[in-house]
Amino acid sequence: MGTTLEEDQATIGDPKVRLEFRKYQAVKYRIEVKHILQQQVRLGTVLLAIMVRIKDLTPFEAACSRVFDLESKTGTGYPLKEVEHLLNRIMLGDYLNRLKVGLDRNREEMSKQAEEEAAAAQAEGEEDDEIDEEEDEEDAEEGEEEKTAETEKV
């Protein structure tokens, strides 16, 4: 069965428990793996919060600012007493940079597509206007022919 992080730390920290060197190293390894997993879960949670901000159309730089609910200013979740959100941004940096490039590319493509659609709609509108003008001319010609025919009858 597995042990919790607290149980492993208690095992190493308990002076009554004398572990062989290999077992001691195995427990230390387990502790470090659990720290890494906890850190990855925190990073995923922070990234999710950033993505929600971006989805809500927050500007990218503002969306990447500190997530107050999840990141402390003193770094309580890390062994180092550094600023937690800066460490998180460093760890997420490559992903966030690629995300920004992708968002910018999508924005450019969407604006190009909107311009093309507007140009197509404008061209279609001009064609419709030409067709309407031709129909109006034909109607006017038919009206004149009918008047001429009526005057000839009279």
Contacting residues for 92 by C-beta, under 8 A, at least 6 apart: 43, 46, 47, 50
Asked whether residue 51 is assigned to any structural domain, the reply reads yes
CA distance 154 to 145: 14
Asked whether residue 89 is assigned to any structural domain, the reply reads yes
Give the model's pLDDT for residue 14: 82
Q: What's the pLDDT band for 38 if we cut at 50, 70, 90?
A: very high
Model pTM score: 0.63
Asked whether residue 58 is assigned to any structural domain, the reply reads yes
Give the model's pLDDT for residue 81: 44
Asked if 83 and 73 touch (Cβ cutoff 8 Å), the reply is yes
Asked whether residue 98 is assigned to any structural domain, the reply reads yes
Give the model's pLDDT for residue 48: 95
Domain hosting 100: range is 5-111
Torsion from C-alpha of 39, 44, 47, 49, nearest 10 degrees: -110
Q: What's the pLDDT band for 132 if we cut at 50, 70, 90?
A: low
pLDDT tens-place string over residues 73-130 = 665 555 554 577 788 889 999 999 999 999 999 999 999 999 999 888 888 777 666 6
Asked whether residue 149 is assigned to any structural domain, the reply reads no
Give the model's pLDDT for residue 112: 93
Q: How many domains does the chain have?
A: 1
| pLDDT above 50 (res 13) | yes
